[in-house]
Structure 1
Amino acid sequence: MNTRFPFVDWFRNSSPYINAHRGRTFVILIEGEAMAQGRGEQLIQDLALLHTLGVRLVVVFGIRPQVNAALEAAGVTPTRHDGRWIADADIMACVERVAAEQRLWLEARLSLGLPNTPLHGVELTAVSGNLVMAKPLGVREGVDYDHSGEVRRVRAAAVQALLEQGALVLLPPLGFSSTGEVFDLDASEVAQQAAVALKADKLILLGEADGLHDESGALQRQLTPAEAEPLRRRSPPGSELDRHLAAACGAARFGVARTHLLSWHDHDALLGELFTRDGVGTMITQHRYEQLRAAQLGDIAGLLELLEPLERRGMLVARSRERLEHEIDDYLVIERDGMIIGCAALHAFPEAQMAELACVAVHDDYRRGARGGLLLAETERRARRQGLTSLFALTTHTTHWFFEHGFRLAELSELPNLKRDAYNHARKSKILLKPLV
């Protein structure tokens, strides 16, 4: 359905995600470069919008470029080892000052409520504090890291209590020890440990890159930790890619369902990733959000929605809800984030050692991903497991697709008796056959 206002269609399509995200906990890392290059205002407006939609937010902010600039202005050159600077007294004084300045700036912007501003009427309470406990990195490979530290634990109960009160929690890249010391921390590690401790629904890492790309430059929408880990090992120690992938893979392995790698350069990245089906960046997850699986009765409504446009155009024979329910065990589906985007059925004729490949359908928006081929390959495996020796299909529109996948034209006489007797001569469907041996 077309509308004079494209935003209206987008808003309608985003409503399932608005409902799904309400009451969920998101940990969001904003790297310091985003603030240093003027992207803070837009990101704060997006955070305020998420807050009004009922998302529980923990925001971790980086300060690397601001600290580097302050050290350069002070004539201090930090010693670095294995991607981390060694935080001596001079560097820690600078880190603490910059972190305090950045936190105050964020709190001030999150308090903005003037008329004609996106935050007008939004009352946000931003809270920070001694919520991350730390320990020193100590001496490693003969190098004393001084006040460079690592996360010991996140005070999850305290953070949860603040979230329950409707607060937005700010976490700087600092940690505190039981001896009263302050340690410089990696913001990515703070975000990862916070997400794990809080059992967050999402960890979102906003950095320079818009995600991960394959060798051809194509954006990789989804990877498992096992697939992402080799990329991390090849990245320079301490680089943003190294730190973000370490956080993403670590969070996934300890129960965070989804980590999103996004670019703060893209003004639409945060909302686009959260409120559209395909998103805009790369997601790291143990559980793929697009999967090929056996159909279930709960998929009937999705199947009807997928098939109806193709039936209306005469590409498929109409199937009733009752027929789909009766034959549901014959169906495979491709599910993408709760939506059925593809299906195929395998109707066996064991007496003839044949099976019909039927109802092959892929949603119009997802036809460029070779999903039809995946459905065909899985139906062939199913047929072989049942001891069948050939597949046949009837089609009026997609003959060449079947040719490309090893089918040949066949005669009506080559079909099983039951199918031959039920053949609809009025449709004049082409008959195609493929051996499985």
Structure 2
Amino acid sequence: MKSNDWLHGFRHSSPYINAHRGRTVVLTIPGDAIEHGNFINIIHDIVLLSSLGVKLVVAFGARPQIQARLDGAGVESTFARGLRITPEQHLPMVMEAIGGLRAYLESQLSMGLVNSPMHNARIRVSSGNYVAARPVGVLDGIDFGHTGKVRRIDVAGIEKLLELGNIVLLPPLGYSPTGDVFNLSYEDVGSQVAAALQAEKLIVFIDDQGLLEEDGSLIRELSARQASERLAAGAVTGHDASLLRAACDACVKGVRRAHIISYVDDGALLEEMFTRDGSGTLVSGDNYEQIRQARVEDIGGILELIQPLEEQGILVRRSREMLETEIDRFVVAERDGTIVGCAALYSYPEEESGELSCFAVDPSYRRAGRGDEILAMVEKLARTQGLRKLFVLTTQTEHWFRERGFQTSTVQSLPGPKLASYNTQRNSKVFYKPL
């Protein structure tokens, strides 16, 4: 019998395709990845993303290629603070290595063989002087020469190319108003570009499945704050620390998500973009980490948020005493000390279902995706409790829930205890969502 696994996966990828269309994603690819056997598959996946309407910026590194060029010339290269020192006499060889790699990447992204996934893709690749740089200077008495740091990003120039459907290719080079060229860290370029463009995602490629704990298990998720704490404690070292710092810096500056994924595993990029659980390690920005379990001191903020909705008859009235009793069921969205959203999860373990209740978002934040983030948090909590479906009773927000995968159901489908307390006067509609 023919397997239809691909059909199921393809259909379930459509919400992610729609969500990413027109959004900007920055990819940072190390020179080691470009030399790996799986890189051709990454090229195919990049082209697929571009074909689906994702705006792509690719910042690439060239450390092994530069090292090979210097070794070939019999020149010794030195490092300090994790950066290559670039004397003026080394700069032509550095530029030669990076220029050759840039031409190679452009050629790979231009393939269109009939028997390849890139047939008829017709991808345009653009590059240029979009990164202004300054010298690192002298640190600890060491002159870093033409090693530089990102100073400014030409946001308007990059965005114009992205609007034309081009993939923007950024080498690890920066330029100064004086005409000098600087050798840059590709992680710095990727992080700074993602922040300047306010990209939806920063994708950081690594030679492992993601960041790992000491026991070798994958770290699935970190907030920007947790990432900073790990870096400060020295829990992440070497090149991994540079990558995590780049991801963390981007999130602090407004990028919503950074993902550290494998360049070795075939399909890791597509898995991250088009599946619910993704791949690798997620580093999330401030908006994400503000969704948390509610505490007793949040009750005043919750009441202030839900009372207008109770007065309109949208939510069932809850007293302060009830909230105090049930506060452990709530999650809240907090911004600058203010509760801007909340929801409660009531579990019915015998039916393996849970009720999403008291769902409210401050009107000022409804267009910022806060409701989706709260819903994602509740769904995550429900799955950790072993629940297989989520239901909601609503009188006025039917379409919002339907757009997020909830399906129409009947009152009779409610769990027994909930059915017994159903208020026929409110005549709420019932919607279910499988988890």
TM-score by shorter chain over 0.5: yes
Residue of structure 1 equivalent to 2:79? 80
Find the partner of 1:315 among 350, 359, 373.
Answer: 350
Q: By how many angstroms is 1:217 displaced?
A: 2.9
Q: By how many angstroms is 1:336 displaced?
A: 6.4
Q: By how many angstroms is 1:205 displaced?
A: 0.3
Residue of structure 2 equivalent to 1:112? 111
Q: Secondary structure at the match of 2:279?
A: coil
**Are 1:131 and 2:155 matched, yes or no?**
no
Q: Flag the 1:8–1:318 CA change in 2: closer, same or farther, 3 A.
A: closer
**Are 1:227 and 2:226 matched, yes or no?**
yes
Residue of structure 1 equivalent to 2:4? 5
Residues 6-35 of structure 1, C-alpha deviation per residue, up to 9 Å, x if partnerless?
A: 111111211111110000000000111011
Residues 175-234 of structure 1, C-alpha deviation per residue, up to 9 Å, x if partnerless?
A: 000000100000000001100111111000001122222344321211012211243342
Q: By how many angstroms is 1:243 displaced?
A: 1.3
1:115 & 1:99 partners in 2: Cα distance? 30
Q: Flag the 1:226–1:197 CA change in 2: closer, same or farther, 3 A.
A: same
Report if aligned partners of 1:334, 1:343 keep a CA contact under 8 Å in 2.
Answer: no
Q: Give the residue type in structure 1 aligned to 2:220.
A: R
Report if aligned partners of 1:292, 1:335 keep a CA contact under 8 Å in 2.
Answer: no
Residues 81-136 of structure 1, C-alpha deviation per residue, up to 9 Å, x if partnerless?
A: 11112101232112100111111111111111121111001110000000100001
Q: By how many angstroms is 1:316 displaced?
A: 3.1
Report if aligned partners of 2:41, 2:267 keep a CA contact under 8 Å in 1.
Answer: no
Q: By how many angstroms is 1:361 displaced?
A: 6.1
Q: Give the residue type in structure 1 aligned to 2:33.
A: A
Residue of structure 2 equivalent to 1:374? none
1:14 & 1:61 partners in 2: Cα distance? 28
**Are 1:200 and 2:199 matched, yes or no?**
yes
Q: Give the residue type in structure 1 aligned to 2:20.
A: H
Q: Flag the 1:339–1:119 CA change in 2: closer, same or farther, 3 A.
A: farther
Report if aligned partners of 2:38, 2:265 keep a CA contact under 8 Å in 1.
Answer: no
Q: By how many angstroms is 1:292 displaced?
A: 5.0
Report if aligned partners of 1:207, 1:240 keep a CA contact under 8 Å in 2.
Answer: no
- Range 19-28 or range 66-75, more displaced: 66-75
1:174 & 1:8 partners in 2: Cα distance? 43
Q: Give the residue type in structure 2 aligned to 1:257.
A: R
Mapping of residues 63-78 of structure 1, within 5 Å: 63-78=62-77
1:289 & 1:258 partners in 2: Cα distance? 14
1:73 & 1:365 partners in 2: Cα distance? 61
Q: Secondary structure at the match of 1:189?
A: helix
Report if aligned partners of 2:353, 2:388 keep a CA contact under 8 Å in 1.
Answer: no
Q: By how many angstroms is 1:248 displaced?
A: 0.9
Residue of structure 2 equivalent to 1:189? 188
Q: Give the residue type in structure 2 aligned to 1:340.
A: E
Q: Flag the 1:270–1:173 CA change in 2: closer, same or farther, 3 A.
A: same
Q: Flag the 1:13–1:68 CA change in 2: closer, same or farther, 3 A.
A: same
Residue of structure 2 equivalent to 1:400? none
**Unmatched 5+ stretches in structure 1:** 299-306, 345-359, 367-394, 397-418, 424-437
Residue of structure 2 equivalent to 1:162? 161
Q: CA RMSD in A?
A: 3.5
Q: Give the 4+ runs in structure 1 shifted more than 6 A.
A: 293-298
Residue of structure 1 equivalent to 2:243? 244
**Are 1:14 and 2:13 matched, yes or no?**
yes
Q: Give the residue type in structure 1 aligned to 2:3.
A: R
Q: Flag the 1:290–1:267 CA change in 2: closer, same or farther, 3 A.
A: farther
- Range 242-251 or range 216-225, more displaced: 216-225
Q: TM-score, normalised on structure 1?
A: 0.69
Q: Flag the 1:328–1:118 CA change in 2: closer, same or farther, 3 A.
A: same
Q: By how many angstroms is 1:334 displaced?
A: 9.9
Residue of structure 1 equivalent to 2:53? 54
1:334 & 1:56 partners in 2: Cα distance? 23
Q: Flag the 1:316–1:171 CA change in 2: closer, same or farther, 3 A.
A: same
2:209 & 2:389 partners in 1: Cα distance? 22
Residue of structure 2 equivalent to 1:275? 274
**Are 1:39 and 2:35 matched, yes or no?**
no
Report if aligned partners of 1:28, 1:204 keep a CA contact under 8 Å in 2.
Answer: yes
Mapping of residues 137-176 of structure 1, within 5 Å: 137-176=136-175
Find the partner of 1:340 among 354, 379, 387.
Answer: 379
Q: Secondary structure at the match of 1:262?
A: strand
Report if aligned partners of 2:353, 2:389 keep a CA contact under 8 Å in 1.
Answer: no
- Range 221-230 or range 161-170, more displaced: 221-230
2:44 & 2:351 partners in 1: Cα distance? 47
1:318 & 1:30 partners in 2: Cα distance? 42
Q: Give the residue type in structure 1 aligned to 2:208.
A: A
Residue of structure 1 equivalent to 2:387? 363
1:66 & 1:363 partners in 2: Cα distance? 51
Q: Secondary structure at the match of 1:151?
A: strand
Q: By how many angstroms is 1:317 displaced?
A: 10
2:92 & 2:265 partners in 1: Cα distance? 33
**Unmatched 5+ stretches in structure 2:** 295-301, 316-344, 361-371, 391-414, 422-435
Report if aligned partners of 2:353, 2:387 keep a CA contact under 8 Å in 1.
Answer: no
Same amino acid, percent of matched pairs: 38
1:42 & 1:334 partners in 2: Cα distance? 32
